[in-house]
Structure 1
Amino acid sequence: MAFSLFSTKNRIINLVINDHSIRFLELKQENPPTPQRWMERFLPPGIITDGKIADFESLSSILEECIDDWKIRRRSIRFIVPDPLVIIRKVTIPADVQEDEIKGYLYLELGSSIHLPFEEPVFDYYAMIDNGKTKDLLLFAAPEQNVMEYVDLLSRLKVNPVAADISPLSLYRLYHKLDRASADEVLFTVQFDLTSVNLCIFDETVPIVMRHFSLPFAIDDWEITKDTLGLMVCKFNGEPEELVIQFEDIFKEINKLLDFYRYSQNHNEKQDITKFLLNGDHPMLMAIYDEMKERYEIPVDLIRIEHDAKSKQMSIPANLILPLGLALKEVQ
């Protein structure tokens, strides 16, 4: 499940770009997942808005500096398609459409029987139930124009985009690699970042529904510095009540998605949500974790990767969990 735009190359760098940061990670080894090197750059508001490039010149200039500083020019790149651009939708097609004809069929039906909130999507699909008359598919789509703006920009800056992924799949890939998944699991992932929150429900290994929400972000209320690892440290200097209101709004959205899943599955034999998986770069992540444990009877999990003292390696910071999951993606 990824966007098939690219060819295969080796020595791949993993890049995560969102509204407030650019992160890169290079993988040292897959088992256990271990980063070799990483870096992060804060993006001021207004350069990327809701996943779309708003100030192309500024982003190009900052990215060029990053590519030079991080010494990744002419390297192959995997990247995450920004969450606000991605939709997941269930579609039904006739059962007699053959496997090698599905993509062509979907192209023909886009805009007629299959409606998306944008034209000319780049997409992939996952086959689900086939009852002999119809086939159910999960369609993963994003506007091609916005995705290609990132591809073209990276190519112009002399790096080579070879694969794109979506953040819930990258997160789940790492979760699965660490043997945290269990049979018949229904996992609710909560990616809680500085400027946005992404919610996704997995039925076993398949992301079946996703919702994205922007958080209000006033740069004057935050102090942004770097730590000795080269990662952002964000300290909130505004009124605490502002964050409380933001968090309450997100908890309401979590409740809505819980209710939606329970209602949509009430005629099936599917079980309820079995676990929350919380992740993200929000500086209040542990407070959010404690609040979720207090509010919900559903267990709440965090991905933590601790190294033993003999390895002389520190635990992997939360900022790196998503690019580390991306690094485990195979390029096809």
Structure 2
Amino acid sequence: MGAIITVGKKEQVSFQIKDHVLRCVVTKQPAVDTVVNYFERVIPEGVLEKGKIIDEDSFEMILSECVTEWKLKRKDIKFLVPDSSIFFRQIDVPKDLSKEEIRGYINFEIGSTIHLPFDEAYFDFFLLNDEAEREIKQILLFAVPEQLTNKYVSHFEELKMNPIVADVAPLSMYRLYMQDHKDEIDEQVMQLEWDLSSINISIFDEHKPVFMRNITQSFSREDWEVSQEKNLIEWVCKEDEKVQGELQDSFTEVERVIDFYKYTVNKGEKEVTKIFLTGDHPKILLIQKLLEDSIGINVETEKSLDILSKVNIYVPYRFMLPLSLCLKEV
């Protein structure tokens, strides 16, 4: 998504807000070798649901405490919009439109030929083809609800932070992945962000997003013992057998997406060739093993990324998404 206001020359904070956690990485510049610190804080049940703020007072109190403890006032903020609110669709536009004119065309057509599941939206797009012989241009349209996005912006601003960018999680993470894989044009990469409360599934073909889906994860806080020490959280599973059964159900959903992409989207001519697995699920290593055993596709994690060797301090794997957001230029 685009810039909200002008960026200043100061430390930048990359925020990830999930239903169960608030997490951030502070950097001096938009580069992984300038990390200053990282923090996370548990969000109690009932404060957020699928990214929507249900308990405004509690969210404001939690965010205020984090801003004070983490010394975030007057810093520039990049944040990720809630995963479940993202609208994603391939659409056709007239072939004679320039990239600049496409934005105006989308603005005009929203509500008539382009229907969104919300009234007002912030949007961005990717141009899929620009071939002179084609009668149309194909674009990938991303949109998020303006009202929800503005609500987060308002909370940041009320606490004297400076929101500069809102971005989409799958695109942010792929930006990090691309640092090492620019030359792998032929790969069909499925990116899985496997968190405690949800799974983001996205597929990239020739480094362009062609599929995106957010799946709510079966997640009961009663199955986990959570503790917070200073600015880090530890989740310990109390119901291993139950949680592993829920993971197996999620593997079935992933397999369905793989089959859908191969047979319905591509008529058997293309298929997922690699899975890139990230996320904050405490059983992420088990998820990797079970994925490889059940699906039979090579599964890579952030450990395979050479760019992470440039990170100047140790950063736990669950911070990979806010770390990737720091690369977003304004």
- Taking structure 2 as the reference length, the TM-score comes to 0.91
Q: Using the TM superposition, give the Cα deviation of residue 313 of structure 1 relative to its aligned residue in structure 2, in angstroms.
A: 6.9
**1:123 has 2:123 as partner:** yes
Q: Using the TM superposition, give the Cα deviation of residue 27 of structure 1 relative to its aligned residue in structure 2, in angstroms.
A: 2.2
Q: Is contact 2:32-2:326 (8 Å) kept?
A: no
Q: Is contact 1:305-1:315 (8 Å) kept?
A: no
Q: For residues 1-332 of structure 1, what are the structure 2 equivalents within 5 Å?
A: 2-11=1-10, 12-27=12-27, 33=33, 35-130=35-130, 131-179=133-181, 182-226=184-228, 230-238=231-239, 240-267=240-267, 271-304=270-303, 315-331=314-330
The CA distance in 2 between the partners of 1:318 and 1:191, in whole Å, is: 12
Q: Is contact 2:119-2:145 (8 Å) kept?
A: yes
The CA distance in 2 between the partners of 1:98 and 1:179, in whole Å, is: 29
Q: Is contact 2:91-2:141 (8 Å) kept?
A: yes
* 1:327–1:312 distance in 2 versus 1, CA, 3 Å: closer
Secondary structure of the 1:67 match is helix
Per-residue CA deviations over 1:241-291 (Å, capped at 9, x if unaligned) read: 32133212211211121122112443596x321210011111111100110
Query: What is the one-letter code of the residue matched to 1:323?
Result: P
The CA distance in 1 between the partners of 2:74 and 2:30, in whole Å, is: 23
The CA distance in 2 between the partners of 1:164 and 1:31, in whole Å, is: 17
Q: Is contact 1:124-1:139 (8 Å) kept?
A: yes
Q: Is contact 1:88-1:208 (8 Å) kept?
A: no
Q: Is contact 2:24-2:40 (8 Å) kept?
A: yes
Q: Using the TM superposition, give the Cα deviation of residue 225 of structure 1 relative to its aligned residue in structure 2, in angstroms.
A: 1.3
Structure 2: runs of 5+ lacking an equivalent: none
Identity among equivalent pairs (%): 36
Secondary structure of the 1:72 match is coil
The CA distance in 1 between the partners of 2:263 and 2:124, in whole Å, is: 27
The CA distance in 1 between the partners of 2:210 and 2:305, in whole Å, is: 30
Secondary structure of the 1:129 match is coil
* 1:44–1:7 distance in 2 versus 1, CA, 3 Å: same
Secondary structure of the 1:298 match is coil
Structure 1: runs of 5+ lacking an equivalent: none
